[in-house]
Structure 1
Amino acid sequence: MIKVIVSGFNGSMGQKAVAMVNENADFQLVGVFNPIIDSLNPADYDLDQDVKVFNDFSQINIAADIWIDFSIPTAVFENTKFAISKNIRPVIGTSGLSEVQTSELKSLADSEKLGGIIASNFGISAVLMMKFAQTAAKYFDQAEIVETHHEDKLDAPSGTALNTARLIHEAQQKDELENPNESDPLGTRGGDYHGIKIHAIRLPGFIADEEVIFGSDDESLTIKQSTTDRASFMKGVELAVKEVMKRNELVIGLEKII
């Protein structure tokens, strides 16, 4: 039985993670964490009485195998460091980690030979889109990314868009060229990752969409995925939980295990 703590358990994604754990015969929910809650009574959150509720790291004194994190960008770095320090394998779905922070967390986990994963997206379609984009990038010199999320998403661009850009850059092995004569006083050309433009849209009515557009002489290629229900992410989370139990290093990206 794989024992799990869910951080950010009462958020929209955290609730789905709790449900996924409870519905899986191989998993056991042993604890939940959120520093902004007051009540530590599991009944107040419709949890079983044997599930421990925590709002401070110092309270967490239970044995656990996995730390699933769907908290907030400002908290995820310290949350992950804490999990690693307690020899709990991190499965991190919260976006907002910088490359420097991700590198530090990987170094910490790898030094302890602790399996884990940091994934910008646990949606299978989104991960496949990133893999397809990385393959296509070998044959195109120019790409732009358009990502659309719900209006409550706190970070922009999304971790998925940044990871897609990183994979494209790795495949191309060079910075994309910019038009030196281009004028953009309003910043409408989007953010820039090694010359790859990223456009972030935040609107009600969406959950998570991403489109990668490649252009070359006389042809173009568009790769797009759409998420219509956050429940779809749980397939990837379940896969990740089982996979990191077999590993002794921190993996960056669900595409590494699919």
Structure 2
Amino acid sequence: MKIFRGIMNSILVLAVVATFLPGCKKLLGLSRQENYDYKKETLDPNIHMTAREFLLKRADGTPEAPNDTVFRWMKKGLDYCGLDLSEYEKAGRTFIFLHNDAVRGFNASGVMDKGLFFTFPIVNLDQNGNPIMNPLTGLPQTHPATKWEDYSKETVKNFFLYLIGEGIHNYYDLNAENRSVQSLLPPNSTATKESLLGYWDPSLPGFNGAGGKGFDPQGKFTLRIQNNADIAPIVFNDRTSSRSIGFVATNGVVHVYGAALYPSK
């Protein structure tokens, strides 16, 4: 009888495991799931290329995947500001990549309502080239950017320098506490004032009618793990959660974001 009960208990345990872990059903032969979607890439974070190669591959597409251009708008910005792409080949770095949606994101109606171009819009100028101020907010009137060329090359270059961190900071190295990371952006860099980024004041933080530096005074950003019921994202500067993380390049790690990033911690 004890032997029989032991066998029954084992069967029950296996049944429970099979119920909650669909992958185990296949192993136990209890189910034949035709739609079981196993991809090696989800288990192997290594992309076997440099961050630069990863950027270019998914910005311009390839013959095998011509529509994979999720970094196209990031590359447009890099081309415009003239940042040397060899920075994405140097070892021991954490690279923050911008999905197209992080630059210019649209809602179902086709209206831009997110992304850098929407979050840091372009200042409206009068016929004399002076900002048209809103008397209620004390801030300039604005309109969303439509292209990188709406911003100064200096500001765009500084923005991308800010998205390259020194040292490798991956999912397994981070926790729920903010880790401060030194970027390539020189301390005390200031955003020009053709957009609201030039009115962003990290010391407040918020938009300041008198103008602000726009960038973190120390050229640092923070990363931390956000614990939630779903996938735990990496939060950038306590504001923006990652879209996908932990692409291990041959020279560092890449984290991808699909919403606007504020360049101050």
Q: TM-score range, shorter-chain basis?
A: under 0.3
Instruction: Normalising by structure 2, report the TM-score.
Output: 0.26
Larger proportion of strand: 1
- Return the index of the structure with the highest Cα Rg: 2
Instruction: Normalising by structure 1, report the TM-score.
Output: 0.26
